[in-house]
Amino acid sequence: MSAPVIWIITPLVFSVILLVLPSKRWITYLGTLFALFLAGLAFWLPPESAQRLGPLSLRIDSTLAVFGRQISLTAADQVILVIVYGMAAFWFFGTLITDGSRRIVSLGLTVIALLVASLAVHPFLYAALFIEMAVLLSIPLLAEPTQKPGRGLMHFLIYQTLAMPFILFSGFLLSGVEAGPADMALITQAAILLGLGFAFLFSIFPLYTWIPLLMEESKPYAVGFILTVFPTFSLVFGLSFIDSYSWLRDSAGLTAALRLAGLLMAVSAGVWAAFQRHFGRIFAYAAVAETGISLLALSLPDFQAGLQILFYLLIPRALAFAVWTMSITILKNQVPDLKFSSAQGLARRFPVVASGLVLSNLALVGMPLFGSFPVRQALWEKLAVQSLPAALWFGLASLGLWIGALRSMAVLTMPPPIPPETVPAATPWKSNETWQQRFLIGIGLLALFVLGLFPQWAQPFLANLPLMFIHLGK
């Protein structure tokens, strides 16, 4: 059996089966177990390797031919398969306490399979088509069946779709100049189109306005899932472009463009997050800032170090996003909306959920002893060596996100806005969460804490991720 059949076609078929199951709880359990199985299989038996099981020898071929095109998952893709399907299992299991299992698990599995196909297809320009298919399937995942689609959802569809013709046309222009700059005028035109395409795809400033709108209109957990998987695969797709064209890899303007785009996203999002009065919008701007931080990592002169920082951020970012949106979803079920005025004092009734919201926020922005701290510190140090003003702007972006987290904590823990004469003599702090909510939030926070205490544990596993790229991985 070939790797694309196992990690792409089989999830697509299984997602259809999940979609028609009557029990939402069974959808959650089966989807979680299936994603764990795919992650474990990638870890134990990666493509192009053989394992002996008693008298049997098992081997997975790497390539599948479809309509004259090759879809190939090699041993170099092992780590990304383990990470993607492993984190999908955690997200799917979280639907036990956030509802929406039918859409998030079944459609989410389809979206992940299509995005994995975007990594595997050759020529790699066809990845844009798989990404667009995943975008279209994300619409029923995000849209409420009984409500008219809002502006955020429409802008998400429009911007992600606009990215594809720009990227495909630039690839068509560059099809004859992979080895070097044969025609500078043609390359300049293609570079402009490529920049516009990736600006829409990454939601570069000021094209990220749809993200806060979407967090207000749709279920936070579904939006968090989309904001986890799409930027991850989009970054890998962008790196494939850089890896394929030597003139792009060696361009002096690439580093400056990545640094400018990253700083614009991180700083603007950090400043906006500091002044928000809506829990969902704070998360949205933090997600924007994380994409900017990824671009900043790729702007480092030591490209290998930047790749390591980028890939080391994937796991703590996905965990923090999951716990954060899980907590926001539970709070949203208790109040009319997610404005500060509506959620004031909720920590007194839901202390575990409030802790999950605040600590996952702080873990994401680099709180000591949590997963992102050592990696963000390394990025800040390398930015300071490269450019002191860039490091100062990065510090300002981080400060804005810290302020947003501390304001959230202050609102959740202050007394509820009830006249004193109507309040009982003592308002006790009591945990009203279910055991499933305590368990999932606790597991997520514990994993973030362990990643911060022992970052070296992930080093042997994540060090091979750059090998996905022929030139950048060297």
Specify if 130 maps to a domain. no
Specify if 283 maps to a domain. yes
CB-CB contact of 456 with 297 (8 Å): no
Q: CA torsion sign, 373 to 473 to 261 to 210?
A: negative
Indicate whether 159 and 222 sit together in one domain: yes
Specify if 131 maps to a domain. no
User: How many structural domains compose the chain?
Assistant: 3
Percent of the chain past pLDDT 90, that is, above it, reads: 27
**Gap between the Cα atoms of 36 and 18, Å rounded:** 15
Structural domain harbouring 18:
1-122
Indicate whether 242 and 287 sit together in one domain: no
**Gap between the Cα atoms of 299 and 383, Å rounded:** 9
Indicate whether 34 and 52 sit together in one domain: yes
| DSSP secondary structure letter of residue 7 | I
Indicate whether 179 and 33 sit together in one domain: no
Determine the 3-state secondary structure of 143 from DSSP. Answer: coil
Indicate whether 118 and 156 sit together in one domain: no
**Gap between the Cα atoms of 62 and 107, Å rounded:** 25
Specify if 140 maps to a domain. no
CB-CB contact of 255 with 299 (8 Å): yes
Contacts of residue 311, Cβ cutoff 8 Å, sequence gap at least 6: 462, 465, 466
Indicate whether 103 and 239 sit together in one domain: no
Indicate whether 438 and 413 sit together in one domain: yes
pLDDT digits (tens, 9 = 90+) for 166-225: 888 877 776 655 544 556 777 777 778 888 888 898 888 888 889 999 998 888 999 999
Specify if 393 maps to a domain. yes
Indicate whether 244 and 302 sit together in one domain: no
Cβ count near 49 (within 10 Å): 13
CB-CB contact of 418 with 348 (8 Å): no
Average pLDDT for the chain: 84
Specify if 270 maps to a domain. yes
Specify if 50 maps to a domain. yes
pLDDT digits (tens, 9 = 90+) for 303-360: 788 888 888 888 899 999 999 999 999 988 888 888 888 888 888 888 999 999 999 9
**What's the pTM value of the predicted model, to 2 decimals?**
0.90
Does residue 67 surpass a pLDDT of 80?
A: no
Indicate whether 314 and 303 sit together in one domain: yes
Q: How many CA atoms does the CB half-sphere of 410 hold within 13 Å?
A: 7
Does residue 42 surpass a pLDDT of 60?
A: yes
Segment 409-432 shows an average pLDDT of 68
Indicate whether 353 and 432 sit together in one domain: yes
Indicate whether 352 and 262 sit together in one domain: yes
pLDDT digits (tens, 9 = 90+) for 382-398: 888 888 888 899 999 99
Lowest mean pLDDT, pick from 74-78, 111-115, 411-415, 458-462 = 458-462
Indicate whether 228 and 319 sit together in one domain: no
Specify if 259 maps to a domain. yes
